[in-house]
Amino acid sequence: MDPAFDDIFTQPENEIFRVVFFPDRIYHSRYLHASRSPRYRYDVDEVRNGPDITAMKGSVYLDGTRLCSVLRLEYRAGRLTELVRERGRRLGPSVNAWVRLLPDEGALTADATVTLRYDKAVDAYAVELWDTLEPPEHTHHDYRVLPLMGANAPITRPPSLSPALVDIKALRRLEVAFSEVAMTTPTGHPVPDVQWDNNFLRSHQEPRDPSPSSDQNTVRDLNYLLDYQRAWFIPDSAQVPPVRYRNAMMDPGNPDAGDGNVLDMRWLVQRELGGDLVFFHEVTIPPGVVEGTHRHIGSEELYYVVSGRGRAYLGVDDDPAAAQQPIVERHVYGIGPKQCREVAVGPGSTLFTKSGGIHGIRADGDEPLKFVAFLYQP
């Protein structure tokens, strides 16, 4: 990092931007497996994160000569820990990961199951996947690193993944899902109902069928995607084909429901997002159409109205600043009739809903109401 940034951030107005320029995790060499010997050096190309996940790719050098490619996975297991605890168990010293590598050359796409072992240095389960464990001719591995190498060891070489790891810069994406080991430690008894953290049965939306609310538009992924692409440019989001929904966020019997209550969602960024951000999309609600009022539990959502006018609905006590707004009864998805505040919205209106909050929106007037939305798990 350029030391000039230290001077820049001494100015109070720039303090909030510190996170923009300083990484949230700096890879010190002592955190990496082979660095227990000074003969090894890591050259990190890219790091990507997901919920509880870090995936670092780069190269390993031995005595100054490039030895191999490396893909290091770290998993903090917060979600898997909860799933296992619900069944009266605890995670042991290792977990498994299903890994699929998606390089530029599609013929090299491959998957494998690997073992991650708990690493105190990073307070996470970790493994390093090398494309070879063989030392260069006329040399040898350091005795301090050699015990870490082998099948299911902290440094390992899954044969099926090796061809895709050779050209590490061409590895653009990987999919991962994590599970508890199927045998208990130390007794070795089989584990019933092995639990998986596959991103809460994650799916994404694609415009495959123009029919409103078609199941064909839901793609079930059942894993996390870590994407090493650095930027996405969409010249005109309005040209992205929408997925259509009839009576979105509505139960049968909702008085707003009807065959013509159809809205469009343009899914702009979904699985590409790191962290706990689930999606960024644009919603178009035709005049008179309603997105059903609903409650978020365990997630937060931000709406920003781009064009059009309408009415939004909030929980009656959710925002003290809206205490003077009229109270109306709304049918809340999965809950039933409930009193809500009704607020007028137009271009520039922002609606931010925390976990437990209620929101919904209706388009009024002669033009569609358009807003963009971020949803994430805090």
Question: What is the H or E stretch that residue 352 is in?
Answer: strand 350-353
* pLDDT one-digit tens code per residue, 128-176: 999 999 998 899 999 999 999 999 999 999 999 999 999 999 999 999 9
3-class SS of residue 148: helix
Can you list the alpha helix ranges (DSSP code H) found in the chain? 4-8, 18-21, 78-85, 162-166
pLDDT reported for residue 1: 47
Q: Cα–Cα distance between 160 and 140 in angstroms, integer? A: 24
Q: Which two tokens stand for residue 376?
A: 């994430």
Q: Cα–Cα distance between 99 and 97 in angstroms, integer? A: 6
pLDDT reported for residue 260: 96
Q: Cα–Cα distance between 59 and 44 in angstroms, integer? A: 7
Q: Return all residues near 239 (Cβ < 8 A) that are at least 6 apart.
A: none
Counting beta carbons within 10 angstroms of the beta carbon of residue 225, is it exposed (0 to 12), middle (13 to 18) or buried (19 or more)?
buried
Q: Cα–Cα distance between 72 and 114 in angstroms, integer? A: 12
pLDDT reported for residue 22: 57
pLDDT reported for residue 296: 87
pLDDT reported for residue 108: 97
Mean pLDDT score across all residues of the chain:
92
Side chain identity at residue 131, one-letter code? D
**∠72-74-77 over CA atoms, to 5°?**
160
Whether 373 contacts 301, CB under 8 Å: yes
Average pLDDT across each block of 10 residues of the chain; the chain has 378 residues. List them in order: 63 69 57 93 90 94 96 96 94 96 96 96 95 94 96 96 97 97 80 92 92 96 94 94 97 95 96 84 97 93 97 96 96 95 98 96 96 90
List of domains in the chain: 4-197 (no CATH), 232-376 (2.60.120.10)
Q: Could you tell me how many residues make up the chain?
A: 378
Side chain identity at residue 318, one-letter code? D
Whether 313 contacts 363, CB under 8 Å: no
